[in-house]
Amino acid sequence: MMDWTDRHYRYLARLISSRVLLYTEMITTGALLHGMPERLLRYDPAEHPVAVQLGGSEPGDLARCARLAAAAGFDEINLNVGCPSNRVQSGRFGACLMAEPERVADCVAAMGDAVDLPVTVKTRIGIDYRDSYEALAGFITRVADAGCSTFVVHGRKAWLHGLSPKQNREIPPLRYDVVYRLKTDFPMLEIVLNGGVRSLEDAAAHLQRVDGVMIGREAYHNPYFLAAVDQRFYHDCRPMPGRMEVVERYLLYVRRELAAGTALRPLVHPLLGMFQGVPGARVWRRRLSAGLQRPGAGAELILDAALELSVRDEIACSAVASG
């Protein structure tokens, strides 16, 4: 979810669900140690619970980054051993680390020694021709022995050569049965399933077999997807927020961020899918996208798009009543 689950998207998601665990984009150790950690680890306190996802392969560097994340107040450290992009592989981290369980174990142990926070691992079910269940189980065993008790498992293998990251999210077949088997064989571990979950009905079915479900693309492209999560899975009695209510509350955040010098585009981008699947969604996206092209555009473009959508709804309701 690099370039997607930034702090603005996470704030919007938290307005929709107060209970889901949010994850940052993957942040590389090099960026943290040699860049601007204050900017990269910035988040709003309203985001809690929020986990930071790190990308790296050197135990010492990861331990230093874990300390920075702990000092920033994150609730969990997650090591990405699942991303298949060439850029990530060139840095010797992400999915290619599945071929080095000892190194991953050393990384997990180093972070666990450095901070008093849960250290979790996100992984695939295999890479290239190293895709047997025995290899996966061996990887899980070694990393669990190093102190990891929670694994987020994308139910696809990754081809490190020949497929793009997008293709790696679609072409290798989903093998949920492998993830289920992990939970059966490692009942003491928390196994969270990831990959291809597009409805709460899907999530509920998976939760009969595993401990949790991570949702990525669907929750980004259709953020209101999260609205029923609190009631359905956390037995929260509070009513779901309406879409317009969420937009109004997010607009306050946008005004605050603009006043602090944040650019408008990254603030608007998480809103594009807010009305996904309902009448007027295309108008909403078009109005926001066009508004971003106008010189001097500000928070009013969100308000204008919301007002246009409201007027369209009123006209539609009047037409139905007249009919």
Residues designated as active site:
83
First to last CA, the chain: 46
Dig out the tokens for 269 from the structure: 């981008």
Dig out the tokens for 9 from the structure: 């998207």
Beta strand residue intervals within the chain, DSSP E: 22-28, 50-55, 76-81, 119-124, 150-154, 190-194, 212-214
Q: What is the CA radius of gyration of the chain?
A: 21
Length in residues, the chain: 323
Q: Cα dist. 75→21, 49, 50, 143 in Å? A: 9, 6, 6, 20
Q: Cα dist. 186→61, 183, 219, 240 in Å? A: 30, 5, 28, 36
Task: For helices 243-259 and 300-322, give the axis angle rounded to 10 degrees.
Answer: 160
Question: Which of 202, 99, 214 lies closest to 151 in space, CA to CA?
Answer: 214
- Integer Cα distance of 159 and 169 in angstroms: 10
Q: Which residue type sits at 128?
A: D
CA dihedral 76, 45, 10, 240 (to 10 degrees): 110
- Integer Cα distance of 230 and 228 in angstroms: 6
